Chains A and B, each alone.
Chain A
Amino acid sequence: MTLLAFARGPALQAALLIMIAGIFWRLAGIFLLPPRAQHAAPRHSLAGRIGGGALMIVSRFIPHHTFWPRVAMSVVLSTTFHLGLAIILLGGAPHILLIHQVTGLTWPGLPKGLIVISSGLTLASMIVLLIRRITHPVLRMLSTVDDYLSWLLVFLPVLTGILLAGETIGGYGTLLALHILSVELMMVWLPFGKLMHGALVFAGRWGMGMNFARKGAAT
């Protein structure tokens, strides 16, 4: 079995299995805990509370203006990284092809130039984010192995993807295998560490938005 066949076959199956089971287990471990009933009369109707939840999912992408001077660097870097990643994943022709093969869905790919720029910005922002994590006193203190491992497991697919697109070094098959394997490593780790925030962020914002709307608190 070639490395590519391994990556596309048993490795992919195992990674998918671990990722799906892990996500399910983690979400169940959180959301099957007994909820705390809220009996106080809310300030807003159910519709208002649902609106509050939905609004917070969107509004927390941009901090209140008063916070900007102190968090601009953090927001710009993380937004660049996340947007860049989304553009690569959803706009890159090979990824669209893969999604089409799996789901039947398809859409037009973005121009290759835009993908290249996005890839470069994503890679650069990740490197700056890492430097910041190591050098900023607060981030350095907060950081755990999970933070660095999660960074690495996202960085590797981005890096191998760029190398693959450019076909700069190594054979295409080997690079493709390495790219797929790096994605699979990320998939395996996803349920266990901070990468899970990709799912938890929406639940967290939704819950807080609903709760704050119930109280009429600032969002």
Chain B
Amino acid sequence: MSSDAKAAAPPAEVPNAGQVAAAVRGFIADIGPTVALALSSCVHCGRCAEACQFYVQTGDPRYTPIHKVEPFRRAYEREVGPFAFAYRLLGLAPKITPDELARWQELIYDSCNMCGRCSLICPMGIDIAELVERARHGMFAAGLAAADFLGVLAEKEHATGSPFGLVRSQFEDMLHAIGRDHGVVMNVDKGTADIVPTVSSIDVKMYPASMAAIAKVLNHMGASWTFRTDGFDADNVSLTAGDRAGQRKITLGIVKAALACDANTVVMPECGHSFTEMRWEAANAFGEALPFRVLQITELIAEGLSVGRIRVNKVPHSATYHDACQLSRRGGATAAPRVILEALGVELHEMEDAGATNWCCGGGGGVALIKRAQPLMDKAFEIKQRQIEVTGVATIYTSCSGCRQTLEHGGKARNWNKTVASLLELVADNLKD
């Protein structure tokens, strides 16, 4: 492990017995056959380590993905598993100690992007990224989410619906201001609309032009659409922090907003985890199939291009595309951005491992929001840096604001002569009149 990374992770505060008990309750709260099978199956082959950027970059065995969920596995074996009585009787799965839980905070939060590369290599078919997400539920229940800043943002999101505490009136004002600045009509809180776009809180803070861009695209399509201030921020920091209740609240807020205006499509912003949540988990939180489609913005644009509802000018230049793990590997939206780039006439120079086996930018899974994890994140970023440099291009497009922010941050730290840009904004800037 690099000395930088080691220095970056001060020991977490040791939890008390009550917190440990809460963590165990959180770990075992919703274990079904899939998770039980996953927690029972590991053969300790160690291959997942070789797929993990944190292990590959540091050589520290603690970053072996399946090791990161060890407290979760122990809680399962001791409390729920078929031989739980024997495990307790014979001491085969000792109680999780406060010290262990404190040590695992870094492993469960700081050193996992939930990128799912480990899940792609596991010969036993264990979805380790999914286990880490579940393990965070236990940590959050114990008050052990990485507080600075992930936990704090999740807390604010749970309380207000926005990680930055933005209330409905502020969001409405902001949207109209963005509309004025970019000369675009913003539809807000219409009574009925076919399409409800959502935003990422990163866009709100860093990339307001992307909100103008989505309005431009929807206006160009001639769509009936509206932003809804009662369900606008899809970021779902709660998901990455492990706050189940907050995650559900954000998700159901958007579902209710879409239902309120009879939408047939909810469009997710350039954000990886929010798409995963809305596309695959919202219906489960709602309790039945959703009466509308959930599309990531690149899917909507690719669809619009294919049926002629979106027409773009060719802007020939060379670029590479960074796949957000949750959109591509985990979400099945790998083709759409490439369809868009082709329509724009962009000469695409793919990175090695593009698509299914791509490397995370290093900031996914909320890691970018954990202050003390920055040196470790930077180590992980070096892989992406090398791969981008090999392509020889000056422009990197992506469809995830979190990735965009991480790529920009990494590039800035290295005085990088590269431009990181939003694919959505590229489309919006080159729509045919």
* Chain A interface residues (CB < 8 Å from chain B): 25-26, 28-41, 43, 56, 60-61, 63-64, 66-67, 70-71, 74, 78, 133, 136-144, 147, 192, 194, 196-197, 200-201, 203-209, 211, 215-219
Contact = CB atoms under 8 A, between A and B. Distances in A.
B357 A218 contact: yes
A78 B124 CA distance: 13
Interface stretch (B8-16, B37-45, B239-247, B416-424): B37-45
B323 to A, nearest CB: 10
Contacts of B333: 216
A40 B279 contact: yes
Contacts of B34: 35-36, 207, 211
Contacts of B125: 56, 60, 201, 204-209
Interface residues on B, range: 35 or more
Contacts of A141: 61-62, 64, 67
B280 A40 contact: yes
Contacts of B64: 138, 141-142
Contacts of A196: 40
Nearest to A44: B332
B355 A218 contact: yes
Contacts of A138: 46, 49, 55, 61, 64
B270 to A, nearest CB: 19
Given A71-B50, A74-B47, A209-B125, 4 more contacts: A39-B290, A138-B61, A138-B64, A141-B61
Contacts of A28: 82
Contacts of A215: 279-280, 330-332
Contacts of A26: 40, 82-83
B88 interface: no
A218 B356 contact: yes
A66 B45 contact: no
A211 B357 CA distance: 18
B68 to A, nearest CB: 12
A140 B213 CA distance: 52
B79 to A, nearest CB: 12
Contacts of B61: 137-138, 140-142
Interface string B247-291: 000000000000000000000000000000001111110111110
A36 B37 CA distance: 13
Contacts of B33: 30-33, 35
Contacts of A201: 41, 123-125
Top-4 shortest CB links A-B? A29-B82, A216-B332, A218-B356, A204-B125
B283 A39 contact: yes
B115 to A, nearest CB: 11
Interface of B: 30-34, 36-38, 40-47, 49-51, 55-56, 59, 61-62, 64, 66-67, 80-83, 116, 119-127, 279-284, 286-290, 293-294, 328-334, 352-353, 355-357
Contacts of A140: 61
20 contacts: A29-B36, A31-B37, A37-B284, A39-B289, A64-B120, A70-B50, A74-B46, A138-B46, A140-B61, A142-B61, A142-B67, A196-B40, A204-B126, A207-B34, A215-B280, A216-B331, A216-B332, A217-B116, A218-B330, A218-B355
Nearest to B45: A74
Given A74-B45, A142-B44, A29 B283 contact: no
A78 B45 contact: yes
A64 B357 contact: yes
Contact of A30 (B40, B45, B328): B40
Contacts of A63: 47, 121, 123
Contacts of A209: 125
Contacts of B40: 26, 30, 196, 200
A61 to B, nearest CB: 7
A160 to B, nearest CB: 24
B32 A36 contact: yes
B48 to A, nearest CB: 9
Contacts of B127: 208, 211
Contact of B47 (A71, A192, A217): A71
Given A26-B82, A200-B124, A215-B280, A33 B46 contact: no
